[in-house]
Amino acid sequence: MTVRLDDTTASQVSTAISAERFRQGSSAVGRVLTLVIVADEATQADAVRSAAEAAREHPCRILTAIPRPGRGPARLDAEVTVGGADGLGELAELRLRGPLSHQVASVVLPLLVPDAPVVVWWPGAAPDDVSADPVGRLAQRRITDAAAAPRPLRALDVRRTAYAAGDTDLAWTRITPWRALIASTLDEPFGKVTGARISVMRSSPSGVLLAAWLQRGLGVPVEVHTSRGPGITAVTLSTDEGDISITRPDGRVARMVRPGFPDREAPLRPRSVEGLIAEELRRLDPDEIYGETLDELPALAAWGKYGDRRVPAAATPAAKRRPAAKRATTTKEAPGTAAPTRRKGRS
């Protein structure tokens, strides 16, 4: 079920996928998107496993591009798997050697599922400006992971300055359960919120994103305190009726304390990568809230301490600055490729 193609071309890979599909008698299955994973040898295996798991919910073609820069000649080696033992859709592992390692888009483009949206995921290192990257430009959605970078907050700052609609980061996806829990506390009547603070492990991009999101939503300054973790350990909203606090010292169960209620607990566990990717693939339109949260980062008191000082903190908000630049890049694109689109933001 796995076909190896050494020293091959994209069109031969494409033929191999079709042939495998035909051979298995499944020539029409719903593939809703193409997921391109750009990774090195060290990260690709785990990433592919998670993506394949997520593909159960979103049937897709998964193309893993593994650039192997080196001195040798340009060469493409591929391994194609269709309908593996565990019923996974279509996987193609592409190793790009020599000068070809810099031309990932040229190999990926002919292998995209016709018409279907394209998502690119960099599980490890990612280019600084993902939407200007040749592979990123093929995609509606570009997924990075600031937490995987050697300096996560620095990486988040790079995402912030280069943000374009369609970008997203797993550091943001990781805090969805936290955001849901905090938001649900305010579904009940509450007093006037006067301030908020969160405690989080050092260098956590998720922590500052959560703080920025709260600050943006609540309109009050949010303090960020460093704790020993794991992850985010406490969030407190100060209101004129008393503090609403959620603490999670063990990384598993959150305890909620608020005036007028008995203390309550809720499970709040770190999420698996496949869960994160499945959430990302659920909606492929731009995540405006994420963009606006990035814009809020410089306004966070703690950001000056963490952020890259070379970037003037008061620069024009990313969401406003990007569109013009983006339009210029999209016009250069080959017909039929997806352009990063931007929907009107509220900012």
Partner 1 sequence: MRTRIWTPTDNPLRDPRDRRLPRVAGPCSLVIFGVTGDLARKKLMPAVYDLANRGLLPPGFALVGFARRDWADQDFAEIVHDSVRENARTPFREEVWDELCQGIRFVAGDFSQAGAFDQLSEVVLDLDRVRGTRGNHAFYLSIPPKFFGDVVQQLKRSGLSVSGEGAWRRVVIEKPFGHDLQSARDLNATIDEVFPSGTVFRIDHYLGKETVQNLLALRFANTMFEPIWNSNYVDHVQITMAEDIGIAGRAGYYDGIGAARDVIQNHLLQLLALTAMEEPLSFLANHVRVEKEKVLSAVTLPANLDLHTARGQYAAGWQGGAAVPGFLEEEGISSTSVTETFAAVKLGVDTRRWAGVPFYLRTGKRLGRRVTEVAIVFKRAPHLPFSATDTEELGQNSIVIRIQPDEGVTMRFGSKVPGTQMEVRDVNMDFAYGDSFTESSPEAYERLILDVLLGDPPLFPRHEEVELGWKILDPVLERWAEGGRPEQYESGTWGPASSHEMLARDGRVWRRP
**Which listed range, 200-208, 287-295, 319-327, 331-339, lies at the site for partner 1 (CB under 8 A)?**
287-295
Tell which one of 54, 149, 153, 212 touches partner 1 (CB under 8 A).
54
According to the binding rule CB under 8 A, does residue 176 interact with partner 1? yes
Tell which one of 287, 297, 319, 338 touches partner 1 (CB under 8 A).
287
Tell which one of 3, 109, 116, 186 touches partner 1 (CB under 8 A).
186
Between helices 288-296 and 152-161, what is the axis angle to 10°? 110
The beta-strand segments (E) located in the chain are: 2-5, 33-38, 60-68, 75-82, 90-97, 118-121, 141-144, 167-169, 193-201, 222-227, 232-239, 242-247, 253-257, 264-267
Nearer to partner 1, 29 or 301 (CB): 29
Nearer to partner 1, 38 or 164 (CB): 164
Nearer to partner 1, 192 or 310 (CB): 192
According to the binding rule CB under 8 A, does residue 297 interact with partner 1? no
Nearer to partner 1, 27 or 331 (CB): 27
**Which listed range, 38-46, 144-152, 262-270, 294-302, lies at the site for partner 1 (CB under 8 A)?**
262-270
Residue entry with tokens 């608020």: 258
**Which listed range, 151-159, 176-184, 222-230, 295-303, lies at the site for partner 1 (CB under 8 A)?**
176-184
Query: Which tokens sit at 11?
Result: 């069109």
Amino acid in position 120: V
According to the binding rule CB under 8 A, does residue 114 interact with partner 1? no
Count of Cβ atoms closer than 10 Å to residue 254 Cβ? 24
Between helices 205-218 and 176-185, what is the axis angle to 10°? 30
Tell which one of 10, 146, 254, 273 touches partner 1 (CB under 8 A).
254
Paired with 75 in beta bridges are 97
Task: Dihedral sign for Cα 214, 216, 222, 225, please.
Answer: positive
Tell which one of 144, 173, 199, 227 touches partner 1 (CB under 8 A).
173
